[in-house]
Structure 1
C-alpha cells in the first residue's frame, strides 16, 4: 500500500527546526566566525599587491638580505581588511539575538536597550578601525593617538550612561572602615572607562615591532577573555558574558587568520589599524559586559610594558622614533637597541627613573660614549629589550615565542587573581 506525504505537513517541521537554530545565537555566531576565518585566510593574500601599489608597505629590517638586493616589500595596514571582515560578520549577525523579540513577542517587548548597546559597540569599533587606518596612512602624532580612542569611546559611554548609569564600585575590605562598603565615583567612573579604551588601544601598539607580536598577544587575550566568558555563563549575569562572546568569537577568528600571515617570516604587517581595532573591541566587551576590572587583568604584560615605557613615552628620557631591537645580519639575531643622551640634559624625573631602572637591572647602560665622552647610552625601555637583556641576543621568532609564553602566564595569573585572590578583598567577586 502506497503512503503519500503532504509537503504542507513538512512546513511546520522545517519552521520548528529553523526556530531551534535561531534560538542558539552563540552557535550561529560561531558558524559565522568560522566563515570569517576562512574568508580572511583566502582574501588577505589577494590584497598584498593592491596595498603595495598604494604605497602601504614596509621593509622587514630583521631579515637577511642577499647582497645587491633590497629588503622585500611587506604590505602594511592589513588590519583594516581583518576589521572589515569582522564588521561584515557582525552586521549579518545583528538580527539573530533579537529575532524572537521582534517576530514572536512583538514590538512592545523588543529589548531596545540591548539593541542600542549592540549598535553603539559596533559604532565605536567601526570608528576606531577608520581612525586607525587614517593613522597608518597619515602617520599621526602620539597626541592624536591618545585623542582618537577617546573620541571613539564617547558613543559607548553615552549608552552606558543612559542604560545603566551606575558609577558605584565595591570597596575592598581593608578600606571599608574608611570609605564604607561601596563608593559612588560619579564622573570619575566615566573618566576611568574612557582611559581604559585609550590604554587598551595603545598598550597593544606599544608592545610591537617584531613578527607576530601584535596579533599574537591579541589572540591570546581574546582566547583568555572568551574562556572567562564561557565559565561565567553558568554563573551570575550570563547575558553580559553572552554579549561579550558575540564580539569576541568573530574577532578571535579574524585575529587567528591575520596571525597566520603575520607569524615569522611575516607576509604582512598588521599596522596601527589592527592595534586600535583590537584594543577597542576589548574595551567594548569590558565596559558593556560589566567586567572592565577583570578584563584589565588579562593585560598584565601590557600594563608592565606601559609602566616600564613611561619615562620615554613622556620624554623624561630621550625616546627615539623607533625602539625596535637591533638586527645583526651576521648572527641573524636581535639585540637591544639604545638611546643616547647627556645626563645633564635630563630633568629630575628623568634622572630618577634612569637610576632606578639601572639599580634594578632593567636596562643596560654604557657610560662615556662619544668623542667628548659626555654621553650615556642605555637600552630602550621596552619589555622586548628587557627580554634581550635577560636572555641575550635571540632570533626574532624565539623572542616572539617568549613574549607569547609571558602572555599566557599573565592570563593564568589573571584567572588566579580573579577566582582565588579576589575573595580576600571582596565579599562579592565582580
Structure 2
C-alpha cells in the first residue's frame, strides 16, 4: 500500500511539472519548425506540435524514479531479488522509450504510413522477448460453446507472438487515426487509462495481484502526465500532441495488456477505435478514394464542423467498391450524393459519422460527444468482461 501512496505523490508532482513545462517550452518547438495551423479555426496562429514528447518524457522519468521504491528491498537481498519482475519493468519502459523516440522522429520527418506500421513492431520486441523468457504461454482457453469441437484450450505457438505484435501495432495506430479535433487523442487516452486502472483495482483481490499491481505502477503516472497534457490540448487547443503522444500511449496500453495478461480486456476498452478502424478500412486500403487528411470541414460563417467528403468517379469504380457502397447505404452509414458521373460520400471516420448523424455542431461539442461514446463503450466492455463472460468461460 505504501508503494501506491509514494507513486501517487510522484504522479501528482509529475502532473504539475508537465503542466508547467508545456507552456514554457512551446516557443522552442515553434522556433524549430514544429508547428501547425488549426484547420478548424479562423485564426492562423502557429500552434506547436509534437508536445506529446514532453508528457512522455516526464512519464518515463517518473517511472524510472519509482523503480528503486519497488525493488529497493530486493537490492539488499540479491539471492531473492525478483529478476523476472525487474526484467518486465525494464522491457516495458524500454518499449515505451523506443516509441517516444520513434514517434518524435515521425513528427520531425513525417514518415510514410508503411513505417508507422513497422515502428511499433520493432519497439514491441523487448516485450515479446521478456514474455518468451518469463512465461512463453501460448495457450488460450476456448469458449464453452466451441469446446465440443476444439477442446478446452488450444496452443497456437508462434501465432500468439504474432498476435501480441499486432496488438502493439493496433494500439499505437488506432489512437492516431481517431483524431482531428481538439482534445480527442488525449481525451480518449484518458478514458482508456481510467478504464484500465478501474479494472486493475477490481482485480486486485484476485489471484493476479502482482500483474495488476504492475499495471497500476505504469498507468497511474501515465494518467497524471496525460491529464496535464489534456489541459493544454483541450478546446481551444494551445498545443498539438503529434504522433509522439499516440505512439507512447498505444505502446503503454500494449505493455500492460501483454505483461499483465489481459490483452482481450484492453481490446474491449478500444471499442470506439475498433469501430473507427473497421469503418475506415475501405479508405485505408484505397477501395474508396482516401484523401491525405480526413478532418471535418470547418465553416467560418457558422463556426460549426461539417462532415468532410470524398468523390468517387463512377467510371473508376470496381465491383468491390459498388458492393461496399451498397451495404453502407443500406445500413445508413454514409451520406451519399450522386450524379451522372460521380458519387460524393462523407469520409469514413467515426468523427464524420457522428457529424452526419448529429448534424453540424461546434468542435468542443463534438469532442465531448465522442468522449461520452468512449465512456459508454467502457461500460459495455465491463458488461462483456464480467456478466456476459460467465456464459462463455468457466469463471
TM-score w.r.t. the length of structure 2 is 0.99
Q: How many residues get paired?
A: 395
- Report the Cα offset of residue 132 of structure 1: 0.6
Instruction: Name the counterpart of 2:212.
Output: 241
Residue 338, structure 1, aligned to residue 309, structure 2: yes
**TM-score scaled by length of structure 1:** 0.91
Q: CA deviation at 1:317?
A: 0.7
Q: Which of 245, 249, 252 matches 1:274?
A: 245
Deviations 1:140-196 (A, max 9, x none): 111111111001001100100110000110100111000000111111111111111
1:86 partnered with 2:59 = yes
Is 1:349 the counterpart of 2:320? The answer is yes
Q: Pairwise mapping of residues 216-235 of structure 1 onto structure 2 (< 5 A)?
A: 216-235=187-206
Match of 1:46 in 2: 24
Q: Where does residue 356 of structure 2 map in the other structure?
A: 389
Correspondence list, 1:342-421, <5 A: 342-368=313-339, 373-421=340-388
Aligned residue for 1:298? Answer: 269
CA offsets 1:247-298 (integer angstroms, 9 cap, x no match): 1000000110010100000000000000000000000000001100111100
Match of 1:14 in 2: none
Secondary structure at the residue paired with 1:211?
coil
CA–CA distance in 2 between the matches of 1:352 and 1:145?
A: 30
Q: SS state of the match for residue 334, structure 1?
A: strand
1:133 maps to which residue?
104
Higher Rg: 1
Partner of 1:175: 146
> What SS is found at the alignment partner of 2:367?
helix
Q: Distance in 2 between matches of 1:36 and 1:365?
A: 48
Provide the residue aligned with 2:68 in structure 1. Answer: 95
Distance 1:171 1:319 in 2: 39
Deviation at 1:346, TM superposition (A): 2.8
Q: How does 1:26-65 map to 2 (within 5 A)?
A: 26-65=4-43
What are the residue-to-residue correspondences of 1:106-125 with 2, within 5 Å?
Answer: 106-125=77-96
Cα distance in structure 2, aligned partners of 1:151 and 1:329: 43
What is the rounded CA distance, in whole Å, between the counterparts of 1:187 and 1:195 in structure 2?
13
2:392 alignment counterpart? 425
Deviations 1:335-380 (A, max 9, x none): 0100112133133332222221122111111112xxxx41211100
Which sections of structure 2, spanning at least 5 residues, go unmatched? none
- Contact 2:307–2:356, Cα closer than 8 Å, also in 1: yes
* Structure 2 SS opposite 1:268: coil
Matched residues in 1 for 2:352 and 2:201: separation? 36
Deviation at 1:27, TM superposition (A): 1.4
Give the aligned partner of residue 207 of structure 1. Answer: 178
CA distance in 2, matches of 1:206, 1:394: 21
Describe the SS at the equivalent of 2:222. helix
1:159 to 111, 119, 130: 130
- Preserved CA contact (<8 Å) 2:315 2:341: no
Superimposed CA distance per residue, residues 226-261 of structure 1 (whole angstroms, 9 cap, x where no aligned partner): 000011111121100000000100000011001010
Q: Counterpart of 2:222?
A: 251
In 2, distance between residues paired with 1:121 and 1:342?
A: 47
1:313 match: 284
State the match for 1:68 in structure 2.
none
* Structure 1 moving runs of 4+ over 3 Å: none
Q: CA offset at residue 94 of structure 1?
A: 1.1
SS in 2 for 1:378: strand
Give RMSD over aligned pairs. 0.9
The equivalent residue for 1:326 is 297
| Contact 1:343/1:351 (<8 A) preserved | no
